Amino acid sequence: MKMPNARSQRGFSLLEVTIATALGLIIILIMTSLFKMGITATTTVTQRAETQQNLRAAIEMMTTDIGMAGAGLPSGGLQLATNGGAIKVGCNQAGTCYVPGATYPNSGTGTINYMYGILPGFGNGVQNGVAVPSAPGVVNDSITSIYCDYNFPLTNFTFSFPSTTQANVVVVNGGVIPNNILAPGGLNVGDLLLFVVSTPGNGTGNQGTSLVQTAAAVGEVTGIPNGTTINFAASDALNFNQTGPNSIAAVAGAFVAGTTMSVCRLNAVTYFLQVPAAGGTVQTPRLMRQVNGLNAVPVADNIINLQFTFDVVNSVAGTISANQPDPVGNGLSPALIQKVNMWVMGQSLLNSAQNAQSMYLASSVSARNMSFCNSYSSSTTVCQ
């Protein structure tokens, strides 16, 4: 038998295997890098879109409230009761004050507790003064906008005062006891009511005989035992229900035959930042909205900076003092605020990651319901 000759077959050399392996690894690394870049780009775009959405939600809601500032208030503001100390801003019925040390400011004559349409809150924009993680090294501000709530008209109700000492209010509408004052969207404990008593004046206007204000007061609702009685007891959470001039009792005494009374529910809306803590860890900060003496509710998450400046009419110089961060501290009256400039900074949800996204969104709101200043009537600016 013939045995076949064994022929050796040539394989890959070690060098060729090494080169092929290196080329394969390079291709894999390139593909992995491209995939990672795609994932990172997608994550970045998603984070920026979510952050921008939060910022726009915050700006739009604040614009709505600030744009209404001063609506329904007397021109130039309103003197509140002063016999019981400073009236608080941004507190709920449980005694939690969301804005550190905020009270109604002094009037131009130095009298405390003066209600303007806008209350600037320079440097007190974080609840409990907590440091905001990842925020830039600038102060956070709060702002309070005050206006009549025209979505809840009280012209359908007739108010009377059976007791000036207890400051109770009986609500009657055409002899029928209305239950809708307690309906969803109706009155709540902690709401603020503005009462204005007027008498007929000498002049007449397009709507008939003019009215002259004789008394005005703001009271905080402390109890609604039924659909016909509203209590304004002393020691309320915000300290509105004081005695003496400009109190509910003073309005009750002025509301006699021949006078008229107008009533509206005020919205005193405060915006601030909150850094909640849960389980011993600090959570992401958020923008909060608080109305009257009610509990604050979140507006937008991951808001790390909130700043406001104000364009204020300088009634002495007859010019605009623009971009004032602290108009009250600079001796300018909040009643003459013409425009509010706001800057809101948001951060993405991955606030502890390397690729976290942060951005600013800025806007301006005209204070159209605030005092009007006529710079063209004479050599001296006239503000009303």
CA distance 342 to 308: 5
Residue 209's pLDDT band (cuts 50, 70, 90)? low
pLDDT of residue 175: 47
Q: Are the C-beta atoms of residues 82 and 112 closer than 8 Å to each other?
A: yes
CA distance 176 to 186: 17
Tell me the chain's radius of gyration from C-alpha atoms.
31
Taking only the tens place, the pLDDT of each residue in 233-285 is: 888 999 999 988 999 889 888 888 888 888 899 999 999 999 887 655 557 88
Place of tokens 């951060």: 347
What's the whole-number mean pLDDT along residues 325-354? 82
Q: Which residue ranges make up each domain of the chain?
A: 47-383
CA distance 300 to 316: 40
187, 310, 340, 345 from 266: Cα distances, Å: 11, 23, 20, 29
Q: Which tokens hold the place of 272?
A: 């601030």
Q: Provide the b/e sequence for 166-187 (b: ≥16 CB within 10 Å).
A: ebbbebeeeeeebeebeeeeeb
Q: Is the pLDDT of residue 121 over 60?
A: yes
Q: Which residues 6+ apart lie within 8 Å of 306 measured at CB?
A: 125, 140, 141, 142, 271, 272, 273, 287, 342, 343, 344, 345
Place of tokens 């402390």: 222
Q: Give which of 80, 113, 93, 60 is closest to 271, Cα–Cα.
A: 60
pLDDT of residue 176: 47
Q: Are the C-beta atoms of residues 270 and 98 closer than 8 Å to each other?
A: yes
Residue 208's pLDDT band (cuts 50, 70, 90)? low
**How many Cβ atoms are within 10 Å of 247's Cβ, its own excluded?**
25
Residue 114's pLDDT band (cuts 50, 70, 90)? very high
pLDDT averaged over the chain?
81
Give the percent of the chain with pLDDT over 90: 33
* Full-model pTM: 0.83
Q: Are the C-beta atoms of residues 353 and 335 closer than 8 Å to each other?
A: no
CA triplet 16, 19, 22: central angle to 5 degrees? 150
DSSP 148-162: E-TTS--TTSEEEEE
pLDDT of residue 94: 93
**Least confident window among 2-11, 135-144, 284-293, 316-325:** 2-11
CA distance 13 to 237: 88
What's the whole-number mean pLDDT along residues 200-211? 62
pLDDT of residue 285: 87
Q: Which tokens hold the place of 137?
A: 């090294």
pLDDT of residue 98: 94
pLDDT of residue 229: 79
